[in-house]
Amino acid sequence: MSSDQIKREIDAQWLELSEQLRAEIGEAAFQSWIKPISVRDQDGGTVKMTVPTRFMRDWVAAHYVDRLTDLWSQCDAGISAVEINVQTDRHVQATPERADDGNTFGSARRIGDMDKDLQAKRDDISAPLDSRFMFERFVVGKPNEFAYAAARRVAEAEVVPFNPLFLYGGVGLGKTHLMHAIAWHIRQVTPQRNVMYLSAEKFMYQFVRALREQNTVDFKQQFRSVDVLMIDDVQFISGKDSTQEEFFHTFNALVDQGRQIVISADKSPSDLEGMEERLISRLNCGLVADIHATTYELRLGILQSKAEQMGVEVPPKVLEFLAHKITSNVRELEGGLNRVVAHSQLIGRDISLETTQEVLHDLLRANDRRVTIEEIQKRVSQHFNIRVSDMHSARRARSVARPRQVAMYLAKQLTSRSLPEIGRKFGGRDHTTVMHAVKKVDELREHDSSFAEDVELLRRMLEG
Ligand code: ADP
Ligand code: MG
């Protein structure tokens, strides 16, 4: 067959196959996502398809690639994979009839050449979205219900409900997940709206590049023509004055035009250090929603949902154990579960509490490390009714020396600090003093059961 013939053959197959998809997924989804696809080529067992934008590529790859692969291999048993790429300019020119087709972009509005250029650049700037980060996969609990509700509201609203939406919380608690979820949702329901998602770091990088290339007009235009702008981890531009300045202007321009802005950060606007006052006050203007540290219930819920998504049977005891032990953040929680599952699949054994402890011993230790020496000193002082300052003082009276030894002992047991580090935290004492304290407390515990109980009680309180 000549290459022309092959191309004609593929085109015919595509026509048939896309009709079948139209019947399966309905007209609206078909118009948005399948119609814009062009089939370029077949290379061995791989069919190469293109879509006009990066966002569409992500979406099609996340939602339709499996079905597309199935359908292609039903047409032609030699086909085993589908590759989705973003159409380059060359391709656009090669098929001018597509440029006149308003539906090419899954959009009701016609996109002129200028817009298309802008669109391409915007897609270039916007970061790809993680296909797992959708609302459906976000487990809602007390610590995040407000942030979740606010994010959903922004995603579903027809007019901007509050501007900006400012999401903040510690690392790994779901800020990025919620932002991507907003973007996915808007793209799905109203694909003609331009959503741009990027990190503050990338924003700065783009801005600096524009400055260097003396191309700030383009830069401004790209950002000021979006419908929804999402900037993740805005704390990154703290102390970066000219980037902040530019961001401030972009921000104002978009708000004035009634476009939605969504921002995330690790702290509340007022707590962001190195931010200009006027920017802080702008950030405070809309809705500020924080994501709190996870609770045991939320962690358990997340684990159950992840295990279900992975399609693996994990004993409830193991999930409870993980939810109890990995308290730092959801990312680590997920990582822990993944490791346990991977391990069991690799060695072909069921997941048990024992193997879990074995596989995760480093992670579990790192989470234990969360008890700080300061907390230990505070608790122990309270318990023995002495001043915290006595932990650091040179006083040797037994009434303060003994509690100090207990605190050193607990610091050794409950943290991963070395003896010299512990010594330093106790008024700059030598590591041999700490060693001696540990030995002494061990001895006393053996011979004095009420002392042993005291220490045990303190240990349990500190481990929470
Ligand atoms: P952040 O941006 O706040 O640092 P991420 O959004 O990247 O955190 O979340 C870290 C990981 O934890 C991601 O894989 C995310 O899917 C997951 N995650 C966080 N919160 C939840 C939740 N409530 N339900 C399900 N997954 C969550
Ligand atoms: Mg993040």
Interatomic CA distance for residues 438 and 442, integer angstroms: 6
Residues framing ligand 1 (Cβ under 6 A)? 133, 137-139, 144, 169, 171-177, 302, 330-331, 334
- The answer as to whether 108 is a domain residue is no
* DSSP labels, 398-451: HHHHHHHHHHHHHHHHHS---HHHHHHHTTS--HHHHHHHHHHHHHHHHH-HHH
Ligand 1 center–CA 278 separation, angstroms:
30
231 and 323 within one domain: no
The C-alpha atoms of residue 211 and residue 413 are separated, in whole angstroms, by 54
Q: For residues 138 and 187, state if they share a domain.
A: yes
Q: In which residue are the tokens 């505070």 written? A: 378
133 Cα nearest atom in ligand 1:
16
Write out the residue range of the structural domain in which residue 432 sits: 373-463
Same domain, 251 and 354: no
Of 38, 59, 60, nearest to 50 by C-alpha is 38
SS3 state at 55: helix
CA dihedral sign of residues 204, 206, 212, 215? negative
In the chain, how many domains are there? 4
Q: Which pTM value belongs to this model?
A: 0.63
Note whether residue 91 is domain-resident: no
Say whether both 381 and 457 belong to one domain.
Answer: yes
Residues 6 or more apart from 342 whose CB is under 8 A from it? none
Q: Are residues 263 and 305 in the same domain?
A: no
- Assess if residue 99 is contained within a domain: no
DSSP 386: -
Do residue 161 and residue 259 come from a single domain?
Answer: yes
Ligand 1 centroid–CA 420 distance in Å is 37
Please measure the distance between the N-terminal and C-terminal CA atoms of the chain and give it in whole angstroms. Answer: 73
Query: If we measure between CA atoms, which residue out of 306, 362, 298, 293 comes closest to residue 337?
Result: 306
Same domain, 248 and 134: yes
Ligand nearest to the CA of 178: 1
Same domain for 227 and 156: yes
Q: What is the token pair recorded at 324? A: 């109890």
Which atom of ligand 1 lies nearest, measured to the CA of 178? 6
Q: How far is the CA of 16 from the centre of ligand 2 (A)?
A: 42
Ordered per-residue pLDDT tens for the chain, 464 residues: 677 777 778 888 888 888 888 888 877 678 778 888 888 888 888 999 988 777 778 888 888 888 899 888 888 888 889 999 888 754 333 333 333 333 333 333 334 555 666 666 666 778 888 989 999 999 999 999 999 999 999 999 988 999 999 999 999 999 999 999 999 999 999 988 999 999 999 999 999 988 888 888 888 888 888 999 999 999 999 999 999 999 999 999 999 999 999 999 999 999 998 999 999 999 999 999 999 989 889 999 999 999 999 999 999 999 999 998 888 889 999 999 999 999 999 998 899 999 999 999 888 877 765 788 999 999 999 999 999 999 999 999 999 999 999 999 999 888 878 899 999 999 999 999 999 999 999 999 999 989 998 898 898 788 76
Polymer length in residues for the chain? 464
Residue 104 lies in a domain: no
Q: 172: CA distance to ligand 2 center in Å?
A: 7
